[in-house]
Structures are given as C-alpha cells and as structure tokens.
C-alpha cells in the first residue's frame, strides 16, 4: 500500500470505525467474502431508484456503514451511502486535505484483490490488536485504582 493510502486509512478512516465493524471487515478480508467489492461503493449502486434496496455488497469503507445500519440483512443502499459520505468527509477533515480519502479509495479499487486483501487485513489486525491491548491496560488501571 502506498504511503498516502496507508496514512488515510490509519489516520482518516480507521479511527471512525468501531471494533465490531473492524472485526467484521477482517473476517471478510480473510474469507475473501464476495460481498466486499472493488470499484463500487455499494451493490446495488447508491442511485435514487435503488436507495431503498438491500445492500448486497460494498467497499471496505462502506462495510462499516453496513454494520452501522444493521448488517446486510437490513442495510439499504441509501443508508450505507450516507455513512460512506460521512466517513469520507470526516477522513478529509482528519487529514486536513480536501478529497484526501481518494488516496485510499483509489488504492482499494485499483489494487489486485489478493494484494488489497492481504495489505488491508494486516492493518486492520494491527488496529484490533492495539485496541485489545489498550482495553486490557485500561481495565488493569481501573482495577489498580479500586485496589489502591
């Protein structure tokens, strides 16, 4: 993954996603889930005529939107598109650059699938491990305060 795409993922997108969404994305990457699509935000596309249709597939950023909206059984293309737009807007703000999200989105869409999956999975797993370690540290500190 090029440095610009990595920076946007790590600093712009990933902090916005809750742990269950990242865990779900990691599972999709590991399993090569066909619902994880490249070259589109959602399947069906987020057009007005499809906005109430159930999402059948989506990109790595929109994946968290699907999770946020109740999963593939409940999320609609319109709802997930709104989440996707919010994530991109917030990533751009975090990066301090208009359209910074394009660095990651272009990498995700243009990278061969096997390579994309391996590189993104490594970053997601690293973040999940970091969050787990942080959780343990916080719990230990909390326990220590109670015992002191």
Count the domains in the chain. Answer: 1
**Structure confidence by residue, pLDDT tens digits, 83-131:** 999 999 999 999 999 999 999 999 999 999 999 999 999 999 999 999 9
Whether cis (ω within 30° of 0) applies to the bond prior to 44 is yes
* Band of residue 137 on the pLDDT scale cut at 50, 70, 90: low
26 pLDDT more than 90: yes
Distance of alpha carbon 135 from alpha carbon 82, whole angstroms: 30
Q: What is the pTM of this model?
A: 0.88
Domain extent, residue 92, equals 3-147
Per-chain mean pLDDT for the chain:
93
Which H helix or E strand runs over 58?
Answer: strand 57-58
Euclidean distance between CA atoms 8 and 102, whole angstroms: 9
Name residue 42's beta-bridge partners: 58
C-alpha to C-alpha distance for 74 and 106, rounded to whole angstroms: 28
Residues in the chain: 148
């Amino acid at each position: 993954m090029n440095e610009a795409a990595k920076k946007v993922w790590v600093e712009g997108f990933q902090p916005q996603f809750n742990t269950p969404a990242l865990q779900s994305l990691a599972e999709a990457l590991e399993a090569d889930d066909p619902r994880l699509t490249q070259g589109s935000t959602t399947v069906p596309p987020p057009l007005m005529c499809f906005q109430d249709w159930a999402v059948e597939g989506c990109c790595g950023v929109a994946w968290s939107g699907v999770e946020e909206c109740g999963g593939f059984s409940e999320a609609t293309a319109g709802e997930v598109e709104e989440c996707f737009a919010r994530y991109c807007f917030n990533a751009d703000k975090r990066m301090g650059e208009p359209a910074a999200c394009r660095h990651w989105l272009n990498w995700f869409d243009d990278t061969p699938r096997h390579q994309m999956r391996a590189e993104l999975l490594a970053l997601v797993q690293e973040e999940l491990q970091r969050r787990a370690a942080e959780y343990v540290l916080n719990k230990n500190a909390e326990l220590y305060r109670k015992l002191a």
